[in-house]
Amino acid sequence: MFGKTLDYQILSLFTHSRNVKTEEELNSCAAQETSLTIEDANYQLQKLMERLEGNFPISDTLRYLDIGCGAGDIAIALAKAGCKKVTGIDFVRRSIDQATLKAKRLQVGDCVEFICEDIHGWTPPHQYDVILSHEALEHIEDPQALLQEIGKLLTPEGVVILGFGPLFHTPFGDHMDGFFRVPIPWRGVIFSEKAMLRARRECFRPTDLADRYQDISGGLNLMKYSGFLKDVDITGWKLSFLCVNPQLKRFPPLYNLSNILIQIPLIRDYFAASVYAVLRRHSS
């Protein structure tokens, strides 16, 4: 907004260092944080199904692939719900280690496996009936390439389930609440990238030396809602279900207002924060 130096000085007034951790400390914490309960896992799955308005098939005969599975909560919940063929994949080693320990502790290791791989370089043993990406698409460097890639991993009649956000250009799309004392909306849009990442290094992740959002640990691809719709169209998918900002349904006036705003091309990308969608092949 005012240049990287002045932006940084302004940001410094609103930050704190209470959550500062190195990558080594994060890895150590992840190794200990395996206390997921089945109630927690079920809550995550039920919330996802609610936002998808029932458009999520649950069956013990289907093969599931959870791309960007993180610590494995959804995959484990699927296994606990009776799904017998669940695979979670993530390129962050500490997340996969944590997910594997959780699955073992909750006794679903026979139904779910976790793989530490980059989806773009991974060769699966078979195709999947349901491919899920939950809270991950905004972190993947090239979402269009992913949408293209998953077509090869899906059975002809399969479905792709997507739930992601907040998107970068929306009020809290920088995913950096962890070190701000005051929740300034649209920080990532207002302040320079270099100022934001300098504040992040000094107050939150001192060993993450990235100087682009795309290169921070976990990544942020700066995707917009309009860009997602374009990527879906380019890659040849059919949107069989789409809901934007379903978390606002608890507040009907806000939800109705958001539905109006996302219809306006010039401003839609600043208000379409979270997206839940089901993709199918056009021939399905």
Q: Are 269 and 225 in contact (CB under 8 A)?
A: yes
Question: What per-residue confidence (pLDDT) applies to 44?
Answer: 82
DSSP per residue over 156-206, as a string? EEEEEEEEE---TTSTTTT--GGGBSS--TTHHHHS-HHHHHHHHHHHT-T
Instruction: Tell me the pTM.
Output: 0.91
Question: What per-residue confidence (pLDDT) applies to 31?
Answer: 63
246: CATH: 3.40.50.150
Which residues lie closer than 8 Å to 177 by C-beta, 6 or more apart?
Answer: 183
Residue-level pLDDT, tens digit, the chain, 284 residues: 668 899 999 999 999 999 999 988 887 776 666 566 667 778 888 889 999 998 999 999 999 999 999 889 999 999 999 999 999 999 888 899 989 998 988 888 899 999 999 888 899 999 999 999 999 899 988 999 999 999 999 999 999 999 999 999 999 999 999 999 999 999 999 999 999 999 999 999 999 999 999 999 888 999 999 999 999 999 999 999 999 999 999 999 999 999 999 999 999 999 999 999 999 998 75
Looking at the 3D structure of the chain, how many domains does it have?
Answer: 1
Instruction: Name the H helices within the chain.
Output: 4-12, 23-32, 38-51, 73-80, 93-105, 143-153, 187-190, 193-203, 225-234, 252-261
- Domain holding 114, by residue range, is 4-281
Question: In 3-state terms, what secondary structure has residue 261?
Answer: helix
Residue 229: how many other CB atoms lie within 10 Å: 16
Question: What per-residue confidence (pLDDT) applies to 92?
Answer: 87
